[in-house]
Structure 1
Amino acid sequence: MCDCCNNKRPVRVRFAPSPTGYLHVGGARTAIYNYFFAKAMGGVFYLRIEDTDRKRYNETALHDLMRDLKWLGLQWDEGPGCEKDCGPYFQSERLHIYNEQIKKLLDSGDAYYCFCTEERLQEVRAEQEKAGVSVTGYDRHCRNIPREEAEARIAAGEKAVIRFKVPETGVTEFDDMIRGHISYQNELLDDLVLIKRDGYPTYHFASVCDDHLMGTSHVLRGDEWISSTPKHELLYKAFGWEPPVWCHLPVILDKNGGKLSKRKGAASVGDFRDLGYLPETLVNYLALLGWNPGDDREVMTIKEMIDCFTLERINPKPASFDEKKLQWMNGQHIHMCDDAMLLGIMKEGLAAKGFDLSAEPEARLLEIVKQLKPRAHFVQDLAEMSTYFFKAPETYDEKGAKKHFGVGSKELCQQVRDMLASIEDFKTPVIEKEFYALAERIGHKVGELVGAPRLAVSGVTAGPGLWELFELLGKEETLRRIDVALPLMG
């Protein structure tokens, strides 16, 4: 147990996922807010793995979860791989702690053994539903079994869970930093299970014990846990512990107001990484789903968001996930990215397509990235859009060919080709100057001269500036590609 659990303890917040599946974007946003808050307050962000559900525990999910957090840039200060005094950080390694704590509740009379089978509990539930009673749940059948009798039955081999003895009357109240004052009638609360038959704690018991013993000052979690909070408050009271500050975050919905799920499209951090989103984009976008910086900024760095992050600016209303807005933001972040970093991504993508760039000058490659990145929505777009810089097109965009290779295009393109051939200093400013001079000389607008040459050299109708494209291809290659396409023009 660490010594950071006094009333004046510094900010210590945690992300405590269960390794049973992928890291959902809702969970990622919870991690982001905890990380931002810790950094903004000069506190500690720690990672705790809640792996007490042994039936659903997934080793691959655990690996992917930590990989995705690191990819997002949410490196924990304490946790797996950087253990400190508050460990262990896997709940499955803290069973001795839960055993010590449950004895305290049994001794104080705040917990009891329950021998009811699952079959009996189902029967009770069915009878309650049939009778239409307003409050359903466990009927407290074992609540008053003397402890000595219960322990004798267990010694004889009978299986039991341990339940919390919730007060049958009164009100449990708590303040939520985002939602204000909340109260629950105790008579509506179930005698929740604290220790399961397999000896492992439930989420409720383990999280309360761990949050106290690991010094958690604020609990930032999804709003689906609001209804569990009065039970947690009662557990804190039974132990005589001070509860943390509660902050229940707004739910993230899809554009139609439904729940985000893989069935409806991308929903996990891994999905968006594979689609070509930058981690900076995903962090930026998720942070703004329920929080605002206090002004109209949208595209922000992690540091900029941390510098103005406060819990008071979190809105309790549900947030809507707009993938089009996310895509736009990804383009903005790509534009802000370091060219050398993007070059590495472009090289990987081109290598996967079979391109060997070992002989390419680094300066040329960086200039290609510089020209393409304003047009990229996803990082893999760079490789997709850059292929014609290294290989002449073998086909031409069908719609583009109908538009730009039609009647009269051959004569105009030939004049462009002859003009380009006459240029000695084949650089962007000179090429641009000569294009305008040619347009004026033959009585055409510059826009009427660029469509066929662009399609001829790239195979597509859109891309970086045409003068820059010609310079990057070089005079000889530009002329050669135009010569190949000229016979196809009308």
Structure 2
Amino acid sequence: MTVRVRFAPSPTGMFHVGGARSALQNWIYAKQQGGVFVLRIEDTDAARNKPEWTEGILSALDWIGISRGSYEGPYFQSANAGEHRAAAARLHESGRAYYCDCTREDVQARTGSQYQGYDGYHRDRGLAPGPGHALRFRTPDEGATVVVDLIRGEPTFENKLIEDFVIARGDGSPVFLLANVVDDMTMGITHVIRAEEHLPNTPKQQLLWEALGVKPPIWAHVPVVVNEKRQKLSKRRDKVALEAYRDEGYLAGAMRNYLMLLGWAPSGDREIVPWSVIEDEFRLDEVNLSSAFFDEKKLRAFNGEYIRALPVAEFVDACQPWLTGTGTIAPPPWQPEEFDADAFAAVAPLAQTRIAVLSEIVPNVDFLFLASPLIDEAAWTKTMKDGSAELLDDAVAAFEALDSWDAESLKSTLEAVGAERGLKLGKTQAPVRVAVTGRTVGLPLFESLEVLGRERTLTRMRAARLRLV
């Protein structure tokens, strides 16, 4: 038997990091088993679906390493609507489903409770199909449905506790439960790997598989992804869009590595490992049952490690979208003609050790490409205090006298200026840094001044001195 897994997102919004994790888990499992990864777009929610969301799914999968052409699909659920209706008709004809025209209010009136499930009122009344008549599955009265789950063992559900659930609406359109099952059957899916939030629906879906005469797939329900308050990640409350992390400057490798650690860990006391190790070691039966905490701070630390591990040339290439404002990345504050590739290449090794996401490259190097620095007013107020004007005067004079404009000469010269005032280098260089870069923190100062050059450095220091008049 060829293993066939599927990833079936809905094109109704940005690509959720939890969905990305499920996609990767399915992808790796299929690869390990010599199987097939199928992409199915569940696009039957016409009111919320948009073509750009579908393209967003494909682009996000590309980014995390599941590239177009390497999987089967994408298929679209809407294209299988005829099969969905045919399956509903077969279930009705075989007596496994029946029509019902009860409203929620009808059920509440009979049961006396708004919390009571459907009471089977129309089970044996022979209601014919018609407008407003929903089709309900006839759940077995006795026995239990056992779900074979590679992660959770064999969860067992008593059939008497499963109400006769709707499989087609009053207008004849099949609901998600039935459409999902029929699609999996049509595509020959053998393993369904998905989040545990779908587990309550699994016995219903398994009953549908059996009623339609097809052996159910093997299930694997991975733990749900939660935030720091142990709440399920929500699009309305949490930062969950994979595209947002991509556009902020997270590396695909770091994101893949981190997502695979949500509920699982490689062997040994390690977390940052080559992707080949994850592909080799990942096992569904080793996935934890407890909820997986998506820790953005930890992801950020991961990303910093991945950035620092890049060869410098690759780091320079990776920064280009933020330096040029390409694609979905916002343009930088400088004009294209102001950018100096040689100057950036000179400071790139310094910047690489100091940023955790690629978007941080812009505030670290903008002083090199702007006619004048973007002054952080809070930094100015904090730094430019009594004595700063005189210190800048002395520093300008000392720098003007330098024969060699290099980092070491600049450092020793400014140290001497500070020593005459009884100041350590840290206190001495603070006004110079703000005058030249506009900020109190950034790349190593003297290497930055060397790249910026004598003329531009002195011009900025003089401008800052005039502001202090």
Give the TM-score taking structure 1 as reference length.
Answer: 0.82
1:117 is aligned to: 101
CA positional deviation for 1:462: 0.9
Counterparts of 1:433 and 1:41, CA distance in 2:
63
Q: Which amino acid aligns with 1:383?
A: V
CA deviation map 1:233-258 (0-9, x unaligned)? 22233334332221112122221222
Shift of the 467–215 alpha-carbon distance from structure 1 to 2, 3 Å rule, reads: same
1:257 is aligned to: 230
Match of 1:365 among 344, 369, 379: 344
1:166 is aligned to: 139
Counterparts of 2:240 and 2:338, CA distance in 1:
41
CA positional deviation for 1:169: 0.4
1:427 is aligned to: 406
Q: Confirm or deny that 1:143 pairs with 2:123.
A: yes
Q: Which amino acid aligns with 1:346?
A: L
Shift of the 472–308 alpha-carbon distance from structure 1 to 2, 3 Å rule, reads: farther
1:283 is aligned to: 256
Kept after mapping to 2: 8 A contact 1:52/1:201? no
2:216 is aligned to: 243
CA positional deviation for 1:207: 2.0
Q: Confirm or deny that 1:95 pairs with 2:81.
A: yes
Q: Which amino acid aligns with 2:440?
A: T
CA positional deviation for 1:284: 3.3
Q: Which amino acid aligns with 2:320?
A: L
CA deviation map 1:272-329 (0-9, x unaligned)? 4455544444433333222222334334554453343221332110122333333333
Kept after mapping to 2: 8 A contact 1:14/1:45? yes
In structure 2, stretches of 5+ residues that fail to align are: none
Counterparts of 1:394 and 1:345, CA distance in 2:
18
Counterparts of 1:207 and 1:131, CA distance in 2:
28
Kept after mapping to 2: 8 A contact 1:413/1:449? no
Kept after mapping to 2: 8 A contact 1:52/1:202? no
Q: Which amino acid aligns with 1:426?
A: W
Alignment of 1:372-387 (within 5 A): 372-387=351-366
CA positional deviation for 1:365: 2.3
Counterparts of 1:403 and 1:269, CA distance in 2:
38
Counterparts of 2:269 and 2:413, CA distance in 1:
44
2:317 is aligned to: 340
1:312 is aligned to: 285
CA positional deviation for 1:374: 3.1
Counterparts of 1:465 and 1:131, CA distance in 2:
67
1:50 is aligned to: 42
1:486 is aligned to: 465
Q: Confirm or deny that 1:24 pairs with 2:16.
A: yes
CA positional deviation for 1:351: 8.3
CA positional deviation for 1:129: 4.4
1:450 is aligned to: 429
Counterparts of 1:57 and 1:485, CA distance in 2:
54
2:111 is aligned to: 128
Q: Please tell me the root mean square deviation across aligned C-alpha atoms, in Å.
A: 3.3
CA positional deviation for 1:415: 4.5
Deviating more after overlay: 284-293 vs 64-73:
64-73
> 1:210 is paired with a residue of what secondary structure?
helix
Counterparts of 1:130 and 1:352, CA distance in 2:
58
Counterparts of 2:435 and 2:416, CA distance in 1:
21
Shift of the 488–96 alpha-carbon distance from structure 1 to 2, 3 Å rule, reads: closer
Shift of the 298–429 alpha-carbon distance from structure 1 to 2, 3 Å rule, reads: farther
Kept after mapping to 1: 8 A contact 2:38/2:73? no
2:299 is aligned to: 326
CA deviation map 1:403-444 (0-9, x unaligned)? 543344455444544443344443335545655677789876
Counterparts of 1:344 and 1:481, CA distance in 2:
28
Deviating more after overlay: 238-247 vs 309-318:
238-247
Counterparts of 1:351 and 1:63, CA distance in 2:
20
> 1:220 is paired with a residue of what secondary structure?
strand
CA positional deviation for 1:227: 1.5
CA positional deviation for 1:100: 4.4
**% identity of equivalent residues:** 34
Q: Which amino acid aligns with 2:29?
A: F
Q: Which amino acid aligns with 1:52?
A: T
Q: Confirm or deny that 1:181 pairs with 2:167.
A: no
Counterparts of 1:414 and 1:313, CA distance in 2:
66
Counterparts of 2:67 and 2:308, CA distance in 1:
25
Shift of the 425–312 alpha-carbon distance from structure 1 to 2, 3 Å rule, reads: farther
CA positional deviation for 1:45: 1.8
Counterparts of 1:60 and 1:221, CA distance in 2:
24
Q: Which amino acid aligns with 2:171?
A: D
